[in-house]
Amino acid sequence: MKEKQIIKMNEEFNKEDKMMYNNSYMFIKGVAVAHNFEQTLIALAVARRMHDGQKRKDGAPYLLHPLKVCSTLYNYGVREDNILAAALLHDVIEDCQDKLPLGGKELISEYGICQEVYDIVLLVTKESGLDDYELSVYFDKIKRNPKALLVKLADRLH
């Protein structure tokens, strides 16, 4: 049996960020528990761990962004576990490379993320420095996958 490890998080919040984080985090956790969304529960913990200590350009804790993307999808009627899980993880391969030395394959092997969620996250992961042609190929791949398209649209909304 694997021994549970307690990981101290480095989250630093101002009062407003803390309230937004607590509300968003608990909302998504409640949704996942109420609907028995196993992948969303796993993704919530993984996103929290991966984005720990990261900040957005405006200084807000990074985790608020994937929480908002996931909440947006849910509020627009998305009730599919794998889509909500992918929304929570949509930036981890792109922005947490230091914590994912295998390029994100750890999401499956170490954290229990299913293949479909991983595939969606991989599709919406954009490499930096793409030229116009490469960007069009990137967006064409997303357009051919309705689940990845939903995640990308919610990401762009936020």
Identify residue 149 by its one-letter amino acid code: L
Helix (H) or strand (E) holding 155: helix 146-157
Radius of gyration of the chain (CA): 15
Cβ contact 40:31 at 8 Å: yes
> How far is Cα 42 from Cα 61, in angstroms, rounded to an integer?
20
Q: Please give the backbone phi and psi of residue 145, each rounded to the nearest 5 degrees, phi first.
A: -120, 105
Where b means 16+ CB within 10 Å and e means fewer, 49-79 reads ebbbeeeeeeebbbbbbbbbbbbbbbeeebe
Exactly one of 11, 17, 52, 95 is catalytic; which is it? 95
Residue 3 designated active-site: no
The catalytic residue among 94, 119, 134, 140 is: 94
Is 94 a catalytic site residue? yes
Q: For residue 47, which of 13, 105, 95, 12 has the smallest C-alpha distance?
A: 95
Give catalytic residues, as residue numbers: 94-95
